[in-house]
Chains A and B, each alone.
Chain A
Amino acid sequence: MTAEFWVTQTFNGLSYGALLFLLASGLSLIFGVMRVVNLAHGSYFMLGGYVGLSVIWRTGSYVLALVAGALALALVGIAMERLFLRRLSGQTLGQVLMTVGFALIFQDLALLIWGGDPYSIRPPSMLAGVVTAGPGRFPVYRIFIVVVAVVVGAALWLALDRTRVGAMIRAAVDDPEMAQGIGIRVPRISLGIFALGAALAAFGGVVGAGFLGVYPGLDFEILPYAFVVVIVGGLGSLPGAMVGSLLVGLLDNFGKALFPELSYFTLFAPMALILALKPTGLFGRV
C-alpha cells in the first residue's frame, strides 16, 4: 500500500462519486417532490449515453452530445411524468412496477437501436491525457468530471437556496399539500423537477460514457448506486446527495481495490449500518 495507491484510489473514488452525484441528485429531487421511486432512472443514464454516442457519430461534437443527451431525456421524462406517473401519485407499488416496465422497454429499445456491443465516447483531445502531481497520476477526464459535478452541484444549490423557484421547490418537498394550498403549482414543479432529474441523469450518462462506456445492462448496473447514494444521503436532500455520492464513490473504489470479492458488500454493508442508526439517511427528514 504505497502513497500512490491511496492517492490514486481516493481520486478515482472522488471522480466516480462526482459522476454518481449527477445521476443521484436528480433521483433524490424527484423523490423529494413527487415521492416517486423511479426505477427507470438508470435507464435515463444509459439512454443519455447512447444518444450522446449517436450525436458524436453524426456531428463529432462532444458539447452537442452532452446537450442533446440531456434534452432528449428531459423530453422522455416529461412524457413519462405527464402521461403515466401523474396518475399514480401516492401508489408506491404502482409507481415501482410502472417505472420497471419503462426500464424494460427502454432496455429493449436501446438493444434494438444500438445493438449489443459496448461503446465508449472518446472525450475531446482537450480532456485527454494525464496530469502527474506528486505521487499521483490524474486523468484529465476524471478531473473534468469532478469540476462538472462541482459546478452542477453549486448551480443546483444556488437555484434551490437562493431563488424564488427554489423556495417553491423546497416548499413542495417539505409539504406538497400546504405548498399547493398557498398557491404554488406543485404539479408544474413536479414536471419540471422530473425533466431536470432525467436530464441530469442523461448528462451524467454522456459524461460517464467517456470512462465507463455505454452498453446493455448499464441501466440496472448503475441504478443501485444511485439508490444507495439517495438512501445514505436522505431522500430529497441535495446536501445528502452530495455527501452520499462521495461516500459511495470512495467506498466502492476502495472496496473494489482492497476486497475485490466482497466489493459490493463493502458498499452496501455501511449503508445498512447508517440506516440502522438513522433510518432516514444522513440528511433526510421525512
Chain B
Amino acid sequence: MIGVGALVAAAAVAPTLPSYPLTLLTQVAIMAILAMSLDILLGYTGLPSLGHAAYFGTAAYAVGILATERQAGFLTCLVAGVLLATAAAALFGLVAIRATGTYFLMITLALGMVVWGLAFRWVSLTKGDNGIAGVPRPDLALPWSLAAPLPFFYFALVAAALAWAALGTLARSPFGLTLQGIRESETRMRALGYDVWLHKYLAFVISGGFAGFAGVLWAWYNGFVSPVDVQLVTSVETLLMVALGGPGTLAGPALGAAVIVFLKNFVSVYTKRWLLILGAVYIGVILFAPRGVLGALRAPRR
C-alpha cells in the first residue's frame, strides 16, 4: 500500500518539479528495479550476490552498442539487453550456485569482475575506459519524446511499477515461498523433496534478468555506458540499498535506492569528500540499523 502511495505521489508531483530533482527521481526508479532484483536473491533466497552489477552492466552495454552502432530501436534494445543479462546470469549461476555462504559471495564478486574486465579491456567492442557515449533514448512513437526529463521519468516509473508487480507476484507465488523456505532452512526444504539447486538457480537467473531490465533503462537514462556501471562498487552499492531498506521486502530496497541516490547526489553537491561520507553511511547502517534489517541474512554461526 505504501509503495502504491509512493508511486502515485511521485507521479503526481513530478510535473511540478524542476529538471534536476526529476532526473534524480528517474534514477531512483531505475535503481529501485536493480535493488529489488537483487533482493530476490539476497532477501528472499538468502544469497548475498556481490556481482549484481554484471547483469545490469551487460544489459547496459548491449543497449549502448546496439543503439549507437546499429541504431537499434526500443524493442531490439530491450529484448537484447534483458536476454543477454539473463544469459550471463544463467551461465554464471551454474558456477555460483554450487557454493554457499562466503564462497558464494566471493565467487559472484569474481564473476562480476569477469564482466568488468571485458568492459574495461575489450576496447574494440566496449571502447574500454572511455565508455560508450551518446546512447540515444528510444522513440516510442508517442506524442511525447523520451528525450525530455518528464516523459522519461514517467517511462521509468511505469517500468519500475511493472517490475515491482512482477517481482511481488513472484515473491508471493509458491515458487517465491519455496525460496523463502530455502533461505530459512535449506536442509529442511531438501528433506521435503524440493529441488533446492534448481530453485536457487532459477532465482539467480530471474534476478539477473531484472537487473538487466534496470541496465537497459540506465543506458537510456544516462546516455552513457562505461566500466563504472559494472564495477564492484556498483554491486556493493546495490547491496547497501537492499540492506539499508530491509532485505526480504520489495518496498525496502526501493526505499534504500531512493535514500542512496539522493544522498550521493546531494552530498556531492556540498562537499568533495562525499566518498568519506558514503563510507561512513555504510558503517553507520551496519552499526546502527536495527538488527531486523540485517537479520534475514545473518549467517549461521558455526
Q: A residues engaging B (CB < 8 A)?
A: 31, 35, 37, 39, 84, 87-94, 96-98, 100-109, 111-112, 175-177, 220, 223-224, 227-228, 230-231, 235, 260-265, 267-269, 271-272, 275-276, 279-280
- Chain A residues near B94: list those with CB within 8 A: 276
User: Which residues of B from 84 to 140 have beta carbons under 8 Å from A?
Assistant: 94-95, 98-99, 101-103, 105-107, 109-111, 113-114, 116-118, 120-124
Residue ID in chain B nearest A264 by CB atoms:
B117
Instruction: Report whether B299 and A275 are in contact in the complex, using a CB–CB cutoff of 8 Å.
Output: no
| Known pairs A37-B105, A97-B243; A260 contacts B299 (CB<8 A) | no
B127 smallest CB distance to A (angstroms): 12
Residue ID in chain B nearest A106 by CB atoms:
B279
24 contacts between A and B (CB under 8 A): A35-B302, A90-B299, A92-B101, A92-B299, A93-B239, A93-B243, A94-B286, A97-B282, A98-B283, A100-B240, A101-B286, A105-B279, A109-B276, A111-B275, A220-B231, A228-B110, A261-B123, A262-B118, A264-B113, A265-B114, A268-B113, A272-B110, A272-B114, A276-B95
In the assembly, what is the distance between CA of A87 and CA of B291, in Å? 12
- Chain B residues near A227: list those with CB within 8 A: 106, 109-110, 113
In the assembly, what is the distance between CA of A245 and CA of B182, in Å? 35
Looking at the complex, which one of A109, A230, A264 makes contact with B116 (CB distance below 8 Å)?
A264
Looking at the complex, which one of A89, A90, A98, A264 makes contact with B118 (CB distance below 8 Å)?
A264
In the assembly, what is the distance between CA of A210 and CA of B232, in Å? 26
Q: Indicate the size class of the contact surface on chain B.
A: 35 or more
Instruction: Report whether A98 and B276 are in contact in the complex, using a CB–CB cutoff of 8 Å.
Output: no
- Chain A residues near B123: list those with CB within 8 A: 261
- Chain A residues near B276: list those with CB within 8 A: 104-105, 108-109
Residue ID in chain B nearest A225 by CB atoms:
B113
Instruction: Report whether A276 and B98 are in contact in the complex, using a CB–CB cutoff of 8 Å.
Output: yes
B24 within 8 A of A: no
Residue ID in chain A nearest B275 by CB atoms:
A108
Instruction: Report whether A103 and B279 are in contact in the complex, using a CB–CB cutoff of 8 Å.
Output: yes
In the assembly, what is the distance between CA of A126 and CA of B298, in Å? 52
Instruction: Report whether A269 and B275 are in contact in the complex, using a CB–CB cutoff of 8 Å.
Output: no
Instruction: Report whether B98 and A275 are in contact in the complex, using a CB–CB cutoff of 8 Å.
Output: yes
Instruction: Report whether B106 and A262 are in contact in the complex, using a CB–CB cutoff of 8 Å.
Output: no
Residue ID in chain A nearest B101 by CB atoms:
A92
Instruction: Report whether A93 and B48 are in contact in the complex, using a CB–CB cutoff of 8 Å.
Output: yes
Instruction: Report whether B113 and A107 are in contact in the complex, using a CB–CB cutoff of 8 Å.
Output: no
Q: How many A-B residue pairs have CB under 8 A?
A: 159
Most buried by A among B94, B122, B300: B122
Looking at the complex, which one of B42, B107, B294 makes contact with A91 (CB distance below 8 Å)?
B294
- Chain A residues near B280: list those with CB within 8 A: 101, 105
Chain A facing B: main interface SS: helix
- Chain B residues near A90: list those with CB within 8 A: 298-302
In the assembly, what is the distance between CA of A103 and CA of B283, in Å? 11
Looking at the complex, which one of A94, A105, A177 makes contact with B302 (CB distance below 8 Å)?
A177
- Besides the known contacts A90-B298, A261-B122, 15 further A-B residue pairs in the complex with CB atoms under 8 A apart: A93-B42, A100-B240, A105-B275, A112-B273, A176-B302, A223-B232, A227-B106, A228-B110, A230-B106, A263-B121, A264-B117, A265-B118, A268-B113, A268-B117, A275-B95
Most buried by A among B105, B106, B120, B287: B106
Residue ID in chain A nearest B103 by CB atoms:
A279
In the assembly, what is the distance between CA of A224 and CA of B48, in Å? 17
A45 smallest CB distance to B (angstroms): 15
Instruction: Report whether A268 and B279 are in contact in the complex, using a CB–CB cutoff of 8 Å.
Output: no
Instruction: Report whether A261 and B99 are in contact in the complex, using a CB–CB cutoff of 8 Å.
Output: no
Instruction: Report whether B105 and A269 are in contact in the complex, using a CB–CB cutoff of 8 Å.
Output: no
Chain B facing A: main interface SS: helix
In the assembly, what is the distance between CA of A105 and CA of B114, in Å? 26
Q: B residues engaging A (CB < 8 A)?
A: 42, 48, 50, 94-95, 98-99, 101-103, 105-107, 109-111, 113-114, 116-118, 120-124, 231-233, 236, 239-240, 243, 273, 275-276, 278-283, 285-287, 294, 297-302
Instruction: Report whether B273 and A261 are in contact in the complex, using a CB–CB cutoff of 8 Å.
Output: no
Which 4 residue pairs of A and B lie closest in terms of their CB atoms, listed nearest first? A264-B117, A101-B282, A104-B279, A105-B279
In the assembly, what is the distance between CA of A66 and CA of B148, in Å? 56
Instruction: Report whether A39 and B122 are in contact in the complex, using a CB–CB cutoff of 8 Å.
Output: no
- Chain A residues near B118: list those with CB within 8 A: 262, 264-265
| Known pairs A92-B299, A227-B106, A280-B103; A262 contacts B279 (CB<8 A) | no
- Chain A residues near B283: list those with CB within 8 A: 84, 98, 101-102, 105
Residue ID in chain A nearest B299 by CB atoms:
A92
Residue ID in chain B nearest A223 by CB atoms:
B232
- Chain A residues near B286: list those with CB within 8 A: 88, 94, 97-98, 101
Residue ID in chain B nearest A268 by CB atoms:
B114
Residue ID in chain B nearest A220 by CB atoms:
B232
Residue ID in chain B nearest A278 by CB atoms:
B98
- Chain B residues near A97: list those with CB within 8 A: 236, 239-240, 243, 282, 285-286
In the assembly, what is the distance between CA of A275 and CA of B92, in Å? 11
Looking at the complex, which one of B98, B105, B110, B114 makes contact with A96 (CB distance below 8 Å)?
B105
In the assembly, what is the distance between CA of A112 and CA of B276, in Å? 10
- Chain A residues near B42: list those with CB within 8 A: 93
Instruction: Report whether B281 and A101 are in contact in the complex, using a CB–CB cutoff of 8 Å.
Output: yes
Looking at the complex, which one of A98, A107, A264 makes contact with B275 (CB distance below 8 Å)?
A107
